[in-house]
Each structure stands twice: as structure tokens, then as C-alpha cells.
Structure 1
Amino acid sequence: MKEQGIWKPSDESIKTLEKMKHTVNPYVDTVKKQIPFEVPKLPQSESLSSLIKQSWNAGVMATFAFLANLPNKVEDWKTGGMQTITKNPDMKKFLDSFSSKNAPQSK
């Protein structure tokens, strides 16, 4: 794929896309004739490039939003998990056994 220009600068990638469309077009016409419904046209190179950029940017923004909120989410999950665990009397007793061992001894 790299040799064909897919991962090269965008102007070369667009040329490769146009070349692929030109090569595939006769086969697409043959298949279209065999399909009983209308197949929508492929987007133009410029709009396809724009769609890819928008999708990429949305994915990047969602990833960084997730990473930015991760510390708060982990804290919420920890707090909620501990509250759920301590509601169980057996677990509360088990956890309390550790805190009583670490508590300072009174003389």
C-alpha cells in the first residue's frame, strides 16, 4: 500500500485514489447492471478526504476526553465500589479487622 501512495502526503494519496477509481470503474459498472437497485455514487476525493479528517479528529477528541476524565472516573468507581463492599456486613468486618491492627495502642 505504501508503494502505491496510500501513506504518502495527501496529494499523492488523492492521486492514488483517483487511479484506483479509474481502474475499478469498469468492474463497478458491470456489477451495477447486475444489482436490482440503484447504487449511490462514491464521494469525490475532496469530500472523502474531509470525511476522513472529521472522523479522525472526532476519534482523537473522544480519546483525549476519555483520558482527561479517567482519573475522576477511577475515583468515582473506587468510591462506589468501596461503598458497595462496606455495605456487606462480612466484608465490613473483614476490612475493620485490618484497621484495628494498625490503630495506635492506648497505654
Structure 2
Amino acid sequence: MAFRFVRFGIKAGLCGAFVHYTIEEGVWGNSEDSAKLYADLYKNVAPYIKEVPVEVPELPKVENITHASQHYWNQGVKITFTFLKDLPTHTIHWSKKGWEIMQKFAESPKAVSDKSD
């Protein structure tokens, strides 16, 4: 029983340390902090990638990551608002469909013929 508490404590401590480290490094900050973190990571990792004997694709540049993240964010916003714009239509459609299904269930069941000889 005590082993479980120790194991849980170690896992919780590691998780907490990881979250604290990512907060300190700026992962959960604004986009400028994330871009700075990526630039630092790129600067620190790029020399080691050149030393690897296996062909490794080059890390994308910060500008490409920034542009891609903005593009996908904007696409998500557009899709969300399109859904919200069409929500009344969807609600009416789903209500009619639900009403039809409920009426089908409310009908009396058909009699089953007994074919015992």
C-alpha cells in the first residue's frame, strides 16, 4: 500500500516538474514566447543534427511555423463560426429527425404470427 503512495508521489512530482519547466520556458505563454523557445531550440539542436550520419530532414524555420500556426488557427475559427452560423438549421434538422424516430418507436409493434405446428 505504501509503495502505491510512493509511486503516485513520484509520478505526480515528475508531472509537476515537467509542467513547471514548460511554464518557465514559455511553452504556455503567448506566441512570442513560443517563437523564442522554438528559436532557442533550433539554435541548440541544429549543430547536433548536422553531426548525425543518417539523413535527417532539416528543422522548419520559425517563420514557417508561425505562418502555419496562424493559418490553422484562422481555419479553426472560420469553421467554428460557420458551424455556429448554421446551428439553427442543424438544430431544426436534428429535431425533425429525432421527432421522426420517436414517432417510429411510438407506433404499436406489428403482431408476430405464431407458426407452431
User: TM-score, normalization: structure 1?
Assistant: 0.62
Sequence identity of aligned pairs in percent? 30
Work out the CA distance in 1 between the residues paired with 2:94 and 2:62: 45
- Give the secondary-structure state (helix, strand or coil) at the position aligned to 1:43: coil
User: TM-score, normalization: structure 2?
Assistant: 0.57
Work out the CA distance in 2 between the residues paired with 1:70 and 1:55: 22
**Cα pair distance change 1:9/1:80, threshold 3 Å:** closer
Please state if 1:83 is matched with 2:100: yes
Would you say how many aligned residue pairs link Structure 1 and Structure 2?
86
Q: Cα offset for 1:9?
A: 5.1
Unaligned runs of 5+ in 2: 1-21, 109-117
- Counterpart of 1:42 in structure 2 is 59
Q: 1:2, 1:8 within 8 Å by CA — same for their partners in 2? A: no
Q: 1:85, 1:91 within 8 Å by CA — same for their partners in 2? A: yes
Q: Which runs of 4+ in 1 moved over 4 A?
A: none
Work out the CA distance in 1 between the residues paired with 2:92 and 2:75: 26
Q: Cα offset for 1:56?
A: 0.9
RMSD in angstroms over aligned alpha carbons? Answer: 2.4
